Structure 1
Amino acid sequence: MNSLFLCTGNSCRSIIAEALFRSMAPAGASAQSAGSKPAGHVHPRALAALAEAGISTQGLASKSWDTLPQKPTVVITLCASAAGEACPVYFGNVVRSHWGMPDPAGVQGDEATIRAAFAETLAVLRRRITALVQQLEANPAIDAKTLQGILDDIAVQ
């Protein structure tokens, strides 16, 4: 299973999700992230939040979905369409789920408020990815229909 975490800019949420999944992935599972309009850089606060959590940031980069090294089998979008953010649509024969969440890069306020937004993003994604990894470990030969249901259930956690 190769998961693609997808956002528009690929600088915060999708990067954090990629790093988390890579750090927890069961055998045979991999992750990558991309954006439909990549920012071209990883947000420094996303890198700081990952480093603070002890998650490797090695090899993380903002990249386009046009240059993916592997075709995904699962695509998880992370944009917050409720906030008016355009959510990219990935075409292809893949299992899709939407784990919408606010972009911490858009948070305004003092240092503590901004740090808290990145910490919350990391915490939510850690809960969701942990739930996914537990399901994958319990059922390594999971079929697409079952996986779809699991992903959609996780989206509301």
Structure 2
Amino acid sequence: MADRVYNVLFLCTANSARSVLAEAILNQLGEGRFRAYSAGSQPRGTVNPYAINLLRNLGHDVSALRSKSWDEFAEPGAPVMDFVFTVCDSAANEACPVWPGRPATAHWGIPDPAAVTGSEAQIALAFDEAYRMLRRRIELFLALPISSIDHLALQEKLREIGKSGAGADNGAPADIAANG
């Protein structure tokens, strides 16, 4: 199991900001152990320029990022997902495709930075905050002993991560990573 690469799909309605941020973060932090993807129920067709800018400035590879439909991942020949996370409330309430296999799922709702209006600084701050929250949840996820935990316990841990404040010091309950 140590050599296994887990496939993770992050879903959001437009697939232009939050899900794309999560894809880039997990592909960097989980390199070699995880392969992240993102998609949307109603993809915008382009990735938000603030998301691209932020990721590029933080050293993420943005060359393969694109806004795409979740239908791509429900088709024959698509990668089989081990985990599927919704990162926006709209996508969490939509009827998702049936995913092949039995992926663990959870809702990790994050406020939409693309919905923020105001100055350039206010918008950039909203993207920074979304990135920080997603990164913290992904760090908690990466700390889980995935290969040695049963499916139901894993589902519960994933839901706990999604309910966490995911702040710099007040992430998920302390026992999530420690007790696996």
TM-score, structure 1 as length reference: 0.88
Shift of 1:26: 5.5
Report deviation, 1:139.
4.4
2:143 is the counterpart of 1:134: yes
Partner of 1:109: 118
The 1-side partners of 2:86 and 2:146 are apart by 23
Bigger mean CA deviation after superposition, 95-104 or 114-123: 95-104
**Letter of the 1:119 counterpart:** D
Residue pair 1:8, 1:87 contacting (<8 A) in 2 also: no
1:88-136 residue CA offsets vs partner (Å, 9 max, x unmatched) = 332333211001111111101111110000000000001000111111x
Q: 1:6-17 counterparts in 2 under 5 A?
A: 6-17=11-22
Closer, same or farther in 2 for the Cα pair 1:151/1:107, shift >3 Å?
Answer: same
**Inter-CA distance 46–87: structure 2 relative to 1 (3 Å threshold):** farther
Task: Check the 8 A contact 1:80/1:100 in 2, yes or no.
Answer: yes
Q: Equivalent pairs: percent with the same residue?
A: 41
Greater relative contact order (CA < 8 Å, ≥ 6 in sequence): 1
What residue is the counterpart of 2:66 in the other structure? 61
Q: Which residue of 2 aligns with 1:2?
A: 7
Question: How does the TM-score come out when normalised to structure 2?
Answer: 0.77
Once the two structures are superposed, the pairs formed by residues 31-110 of structure 1 within 5 Å of their partners are: 31-68=36-73, 69-81=78-90, 87-90=93-96, 91-92=98-99, 93-110=102-119
Match of 2:151 among 137, 144, 153: 144
Gaps in structure 1 of 5+ consecutive residues: none
SS of structure 1 residue aligned to 2:37:
strand
Aligned pair count reads: 152
Q: Aligned Cα RMSD in Å? A: 1.8
Selected match of 1:156 from 159, 163, 167: 163
Q: Which runs of 5+ in 2 are unaligned?
A: 1-5, 165-180
Kept after mapping to 2: 8 A contact 1:26/1:133:
no
Structure 2 distance, partners of 1:51, 1:26, is 17
Give a deviation string over 1:67-102, Cα, whole Å, max 9, x none: 123121211001135xxx774332333211001111
Closer/same/farther in 2, CA of residues 146 and 116 from structure 1, 3 Å limit: same
